[in-house]
Structure 1
Amino acid sequence: MPRPVSRPLVAEFLGSLLLAALVIGSGIAAQRLSPDDVGLQLLENAAATGVGLYALILIFGPVSGAHFNPVVSLVDAIFGGLTWRRFALYVPAQVAGCVAGAVLANVLFDSAPVSISTTDRATWPHGASEVVATVGLLLVIFSLTRSGRAEHAPAAVGAYIGAAYWFTSSTSFANPAITVGRVFSDSFAGIAPASAPAYIAAQLVAVAVAVPLLHVLYPKPSTHAEDAVLPRTDHHPTQTGGGAR
């Protein structure tokens, strides 16, 4: 029998919601707490995101794999660790979750529930940064899962994203769902609607770069590899795929 999809979809929605609330909410807090120091604002935003992401992966990993990210789900499907049907269900849940998380973050800080961002980020350095940031994220995740070290993924992903806030000019969105979500908050972490398509395009380009690299570096998944950041509890024996996240 096929495994049920309701629990993983709920996990992906809630995880994406909390991720967007974490990223945007900590950005709003940083902007208010350190209004005259942009560097300190970025440090506060990056630190909160890194440690919060670690916790979210631990919470939701056993249920859905804790993707929260369409490009992660896409690469997982390419490697056979996620069915295409599940991928088609994950993506809307992730996008809806990130939009809901943006609304929640606005409400938590007594702002208008929806405020469209005016922060223009569409430049060539930002686009290149999104390719680099997203390739790096995919390499971190799938190098660990394809080599049987998935237990290290929560810490590694949180650490990488925290660092990528600083070494990329785009501050490492690396996620089409959260790119859409950030449009709905005119705050420190927001992105103008006109800039979002360029970011999403760069993130998809990163998939085309990362998949061949992973095939070169890890041509065959380890016999001990797992197909999620953390092993899911609802696996069906015929759907564990090729060991990719």
Structure 2
Amino acid sequence: MDNYWLRLYLVRHGHVAYFDEQNQPINPKFALLSARGIAQIQHLAEQLKQVEFGRVYSSTMPRSIQTAEILTASRLKSRTVAYDEIREIRSGRLREIQPDHAELEIKYAYCHKTMQHSKFMQGEVWSDFEHRVLSWLEGMILATSQAQNILISSHDAVNRVMINWVYGRQGQDLYGQEQDYGCLNILDVEIHKSRILNKRIKLQNFTPYDPNKSNLLNSAMDDVYDIYTKANGFMELKK
């Protein structure tokens, strides 16, 4: 009788141009949605227009806030609360990655357990990142006292960590939990006496703008690696 379920609508922000026209990186702290990214989230908003959200969360990064605002634009009472704990994992400087290590450190960055990467592309420590994301997630869940729908507008690696958590794979590789731009995941969490009793996934990586994934062939880090190699003029490394 004391049990209740929370439904988490976990979204990755829409497309962002992380590199300018000269293939130079843009500071991800300030990157906004591109026109394509806005359209992707508008497609998702249409799918979610009948869903009532008890709470709306985003990271403190502009693209995450922008995504949440588009998704809740038709809901006058919705207020987005931003948390730094669910900002995207911080990378090091791409230009400091040595060319002979680039494929391993960029393309396979999410295979951190298998490849024994202690840091994400020479940036944030993986264990610290997972701890901050899951501490926030579990704290938020246990602070919610009744059944409701919760929207979380977040990021690629953040979402992968949360999905691994549902599968009981904390500390493991994230590579297999693909998160395309503007995707939706639905996670159900059962609470019993201030304790997380059960977790399940109802939907994963759904992209209403391309439901068959016809134009979504690459992993997120494949795209970063491709742009990196072009920007640094050593395409031969891929052969």
Q: Shorter-chain TM-score: what band?
A: under 0.3
TM-score (norm 1): 0.27
Instruction: Report the structure, 1 or 2, having the larger helix content.
Output: 1
Q: Which has the larger radius of gyration?
A: 2
Instruction: Report the structure, 1 or 2, having the larger strand content.
Output: 2
TM-score (norm 2): 0.28
